[in-house]
Amino acid sequence: MSSYTHLTPEWQQWIIENLERGCQAQTLVQTMIAKGFDAMFANAMVFHFSSNLAKESQSAAPLKDAH
């Protein structure tokens, strides 16, 4: 049996929602592997979305006044 190497929009949303809730990335990866995803693919996808969320939160942070 081959492992999944494609994310549906539902899985993408699941990753994003759980990362936003503060779930540990490794827990998400382990869940995906248990559901049949390739381990390297699951790690890459969770890393991708966690990196994007980190970038978004940094750009949304208000700039501090230099005074």
Spatial neighbors of 28 by CB under 8 A, at least 6 apart, are 15, 18, 19, 42, 46
pLDDT of 6-65, one tens digit each? 999 999 999 999 999 999 999 999 999 999 999 999 999 999 999 988 777 777 656 555
pTM comes to 0.79
